[in-house]
Amino acid sequence: MKIRLLVYFFRQAIQSLVPNGMVHAVGLGTMVVSLLIFGSFLLLFVNLSDWVEGWGENLTMSVYLEDGLDEKMKQAIMRHIQGLEGASVKEYISKERALEHLRAALGERSDLLESLSRNPLPASIEVIIRRHNPRRTDPAAIVKGIAALPGVSDVQYSEEWVNRFRNILEVVRLTGFIIGGLLGAGVIFIVTNTIKLGLYARQDEIEILKLVGATDWFVKIPFLMEGILQGLLSGFLANAILFVGYLILAARKTFFLGVAPIHFTFIPFDYALVILAVSAILGLIGSFIALGRFFNL
């Protein structure tokens, strides 16, 4: 009997979508756009988080050398760096190579370098800091130690940028929560008004059901299921469109943010399920509000 009732309620929920098809389509489209905006923020946050954490595990450090150092002094500096825990020398970049890299980076504007009377760029040693044990590998202490070495003019390392991007991530996350809350309220408003239109369109039918002894909940359940269906459908479509957008981005394979590559990944499966669940809950809340107002008239 219960299964037959559920089938009846589900059929009623589906049938209520047909008479006001255009209204439901507009409402559904608006809900999809709202959830898509939230999903886009989620996709951005997930990929930026992975990028920051990946870059934070292996920091890069540029050790700039004073001009005029002999080969013996350069080798001594590199041996000292190799002896530090977690540090390894990636490569030595001479003044000439540094200028070539700059010329390649400038591209068509490389002729600006022709006016230089001498090469102003310093030689440098590129160092990688592997932070398998962050407590024992302190980049700040390594920087301080290397900067004090004779022949070293300056040391720059990527953790400064990592910390800045972590701060940016916090702003992105907070913005996502605020926008998500506003969009959620918008979805509830849309569902409420859509369900309300359906209630008024079927007001005579509802009155007849109540006259023959139908309880309020017998009348309400199909509309509650309608709100859930609207939410689930909009969540599914938002996930599908988001996945298509991800495939378009992933086709480029690699993006660069600064000097570090971002390998785009789709949101985890449980995040996609959360979007579906949240959209269904928002649809249910919207239905409850519409029904509460209608039955209190």
CA angle 143, 147, 150 (to 5 degrees): 150
Mean pLDDT of 173-196: 82
Asked if 31 and 171 sit in the same domain, the reply is yes
End-of-domain residue from the set 126, 158, 190: 158
276 and 216 in a common domain? yes
Is the domain of 188 the same as that of 277?
yes
Q: Give residue 98's region: left, alpha or beta (phi > 0; psi -120 to 50).
A: alpha
Q: How far is CA 135 from CA 87, 139, 140, 156, 222, in A?
A: 14, 10, 12, 21, 58
- Greater confidence (63 vs 52) lies with 63
Quote the tokens at residue 106.
Answer: 């400038």
Residue type, 148: A
Q: Which residue has the tokens 């886009």?
A: 40
Domain boundary among 158, 190, 214: 158
**pLDDT in the model for residue 58:** 64
- Cα separation, 219 vs 224, whole angstroms: 9
Average pLDDT over residues 93-114: 83
Residues 187 and 279 placed together within one structural domain of the fold? yes
Same domain, 177 and 234: yes
Give me the percent of the chain exceeding a pLDDT of 70. 81
- Beta carbons within 8 Å of 216's beta carbon, 6+ residues apart: 210, 295
CB 209 within 8 A of CB 218: yes
pLDDT digits (tens, 9 = 90+) for 5-17: 777 777 776 766 6
Token reading at 259? 């000097």
User: Token pair for residue 278?
Assistant: 């949240």
Q: Are residues 169 and 264 in the same domain?
A: yes
- Total structural domains within the chain: 2
- 241 shares its domain with 196: yes
Cβ neighbours for 124, distance < 8 A, ≥ 6 positions apart: 62, 63, 64, 65, 92, 93, 98
- Identify the helix (H) or strand (E) that includes residue 60: strand 58-65
208 with 288, same domain: the answer is yes
Q: Is 213 helix (H, G, I), strand (E, B) or coil?
A: coil
* CA–CA separation, 259 and 58 (whole Å): 13
Choosing from 158, 178, 210, the residue where a domain stops is 158
The domain containing residue 106 runs over which residues?
A: 58-158
d(CA 72, CA 221): 84
CATH number (domain holding residue 115): 3.30.70.3040
Together in a domain, 254 and 119: no
Strand partners, 84: none
Higher pLDDT among residues 257 and 96, named by residue: 96
Instruction: Provide the H-helix boundaries in 58-158.
Output: 71-82, 95-106, 139-147
* Closest to 19 in 3D by CA, of 226, 211, 228: 226
Q: Do 202 and 143 fall into the same domain?
A: no
Q: Is 255 exposed, middle or buried (0-12, 13-18, 19+ CB in 10 A)?
A: middle
* CB contact burial 170-187 (16+ within 10 A = b; e otherwise): eebeeebeeebeebbebb
Cβ 61 vs Cβ 129: under 8 Å: yes
If pLDDT is split at 50, 70 and 90, which confidence band does 253 have?
low
N-term to C-term CA, the chain: 32
pLDDT at 21: 65
Residue 81 and residue 125 in one domain: yes
Tokens standing for residue 211: 């006259």
| 126-161 confidence digits (pLDDT tens) | 888 776 555 555 667 777 888 888 998 888 876 666
- Residue 145 shares a structural domain with residue 244: no
